[in-house]
Amino acid sequence: MRFRRPGGHLFCRAIAVVFVCIFAGSSLFAQTPPISERLPQNTLFYVQWRGKSFLGGADKKNHVLQLLEDPDFDVIRQALAKNLLQHQQKDGSAAPVVQLSDLISLLDNPTAAGLIAGSAPSKAASPGDPSHLGSLFLVYDMTGKTDLVQKLKLAARAASKEKPQITTYSFGGTSIEVRVEGPNANTEYSAQTTNYLVFASQKEVIEDLVTRFSGARKPATSVTQLPEYQAIRPYIGSDAAVEYFARTLDPDQWIPSDQKDQPLAKFIHNLHLDRIHVAGGGISFSGEAVHLRGGILGDTSAGSPFEFAGASSATFQTQSIVGTASYFGISRFNFAPLYQMIREAVLAAVTPQQAMGFASVEAMAQGFLGMSVTDALQLFTGEVASQLSFTEDGNSQQMFALTIQRPQDVLRLLRAGLAKMIAAEDTSGDTTYLDLSYPTHDPTSGQERRSFYYLAVMPQFIIVAPRKAMVREAVARINGKPAADSAGSIFSNTDFIHLRSLMPEKLSGVGGADLTRIPWDKVIIRYVQQLEQTEKQKNPPSAEWLQAIKPGLFSRHLHVSANGWWKDSNGIYFDYYIQ
């Protein structure tokens, strides 16, 4: 998005800082109707922040908000403010200095940004250009912020290295500014109504927004009246301080007419993306935990992208393998239908000669694997799990587990595909261990070195980890030998159990983290060291704000997270909690 007016390049950098400190300081304002109720029905996508007033007294009980208001967090704010000031001084601009507190205070008020369908796109537009779909837009409630907005505008103009062409015209008594900038003559429109600042990249859109946001009353129609919005509304949540909404278009509507016969356009069309109808979600701070939720709705019949998602159930085969670490995640997928969908999309997009070439590649793959690609994918029964743990020095290490069938066929595939990497192989009982060695480039020393990964193939699982001891410990757990730290399994954590109970019993994926087991002090030190190793770069990132963090800040407030996703005949849904 190119809304560079309110601060230009500086604004883009600073806005990231703002969201780190999103709930810091400043007074609350009275609640106002959400901006989404004024957006037109041809809105394709929007994300909306409803303002700090919507939070009410959430900071009295929400753990994440309590972290952001902890006195130790102020040290981080000060470091970020210093970094922002140094960046402005480094640019040598005569622009007014923008304080971090100024940017943070912008979030007192509601704002929304997204994409609105506008005039017919240019034939020269590329599918990756947002203007091809419509107009980017931004709306900000300026109540009590008029002087600050003017300050940011002046800063943007002074900091700009280009000399834009600026003109104005009147529309219904409102002055609309037209800004043309850059070698591609990018055009942006902006206006100030009674209470709102609006931006758009198309004339007809800015004029419609000016009409919608000028009056005291809400317009008769809005995006919130669409059937798609009404369908996804229950999964956004009435208590969402941040919400997003997106509706999909048939590829025929957003692929330019002169490109519809191109192979890429045909491929996209035959992926059946039009069967995904709407997506939406929200972030709530109303409880002890931050709650992210949402859904994707559409036609879930065979052949749709939804078919890739695995069936929901109450239990997972890999749960006992990965549940003993600080973090774990499990998801269930259908690999064979995904391949079949992509295969059919490719064949529908290529010429007969290319289709013959594709068939030859499949035949070669079958000869190499000893079975068809579809049969090979069906050896992997769909469950994929991972766990993340930390060493004493704060280094993270990740282990993966996959569910399989016909282990001897799986071994044959692995031996064929990884032949050049297998350094050693041994068997113990019904488990075969493979040691993999491969060359890597050390970014610090610049030297080539050998890296290792270790696999265990069991009757129902493949275990993969960077250390052989991790693989053998996982195999032992599967065979009924409890781990030394089994008492610390996240599945016995009472907070995790509570958060898990808020989700449906049957899930297609589940995950969580015992945040109290993360060695925050060691993790921070190690990350700072990694940043310091980038000093040879032209613009190394500053680690000052990281060094200012007191590890107790996290351990005092962040205890556990839990997440899950599931599917039904209407779509896919997800929940994520952190407290």
Examine residue 285 and state whether it is found in any structural domain, yes or no.
Answer: no
**Tell me, what DSSP letter sits at residue 302?**
T
Buried b (16+ CB within 10 A) or exposed e, 80-91: bbebbeeebeee
Q: Kindly state whether residues 425 and 574 are assigned to the same domain.
A: yes
**Tell me, what DSSP letter sits at residue 247?**
E
Q: Kindly state whether residues 378 and 470 are assigned to the same domain.
A: yes
d(CA 497, CA 486): 16
Q: What is the pLDDT along the chain (579 residues), one digit of tens a residue?
A: 333 443 333 333 333 443 444 444 433 333 457 999 999 999 999 999 999 988 888 888 999 999 988 999 988 888 888 877 877 777 666 667 788 888 889 999 999 999 998 765 444 444 445 556 789 999 999 999 999 988 888 877 776 777 888 999 999 999 999 999 877 778 999 999 989 999 999 999 999 999 999 988 889 999 999 999 999 999 999 999 999 999 987 777 667 777 777 888 788 888 888 899 999 999 999 999 999 999 999 999 998 999 999 999 999 999 989 988 889 999 999 999 999 999 999 998 888 999 999 999 999 988 888 889 999 999 999 999 999 998 888 888 999 999 999 999 999 999 988 999 999 999 999 999 999 999 887 766 667 888 899 999 999 999 999 999 999 999 998 988 765 555 568 888 999 999 999 999 999 999 999 999 899 989 888 888 777 776 555 555 567 777 888 888 999 999 999 999 999 999 999 999 999
**β 431-441/186-192 pair status:** unpaired
Q: Kindly state whether residues 253 and 339 are assigned to the same domain.
A: no
Q: What is the pLDDT of residue 474?
A: 93
Last residue of a domain, one of 228, 259, 290: 259
* pLDDT tens sequence across 240-292: 999 999 998 777 766 777 777 788 878 888 888 889 999 999 999 999 999 99
Examine residue 273 and state whether it is found in any structural domain, yes or no.
Answer: no
Q: Kindly state whether residues 247 and 305 are assigned to the same domain.
A: no
3-class SS of residue 384:
strand
Examine residue 41 and state whether it is found in any structural domain, yes or no.
Answer: yes
Q: What is the pLDDT of residue 488?
A: 67
Last residue of a domain, one of 205, 236, 259: 259
**Tell me, what DSSP letter sits at residue 385?**
E
The number of domains in the chain is: 2
Q: Kindly state whether residues 306 and 250 are assigned to the same domain.
A: no
Examine residue 212 and state whether it is found in any structural domain, yes or no.
Answer: yes
> For residue 501, what are its two tokens?
């109970």
Dihedral, CA atoms, 175, 181, 185, 189, nearest 10 degrees?
-20
d(CA 277, CA 68): 37
Q: What is the pLDDT of residue 91?
A: 64
pTM: 0.85
Smallest Cα–Cα separation from 69: which of 52, 94, 87, 88?
Answer: 52
d(CA 554, CA 572): 32
Q: What is the pLDDT of residue 264?
A: 81
- Give the domain extent around 67: 8-259
Examine residue 269 and state whether it is found in any structural domain, yes or no.
Answer: no
Q: Kindly state whether residues 209 and 109 are assigned to the same domain.
A: yes
Smallest Cα–Cα separation from 258: which of 132, 143, 403?
Answer: 132
Q: What is the pLDDT of residue 143?
A: 93
Q: Kindly state whether residues 215 and 326 are assigned to the same domain.
A: no
Smallest Cα–Cα separation from 471: which of 422, 419, 428?
Answer: 428
Query: Which contacts (CB < 8 Å, 24+ apart) does range 116-125 have?
Result: 116/39, 116/40, 116/42, 116/43, 116/44, 116/200, 116/202, 116/205, 116/208, 117/42, 117/43, 117/44, 118/42, 118/202, 118/204, 118/205, 119/202, 119/204, 121/256, 122/256, 123/256, 123/257, 123/258, 125/256
> For residue 9, what are its two tokens?
């390049």
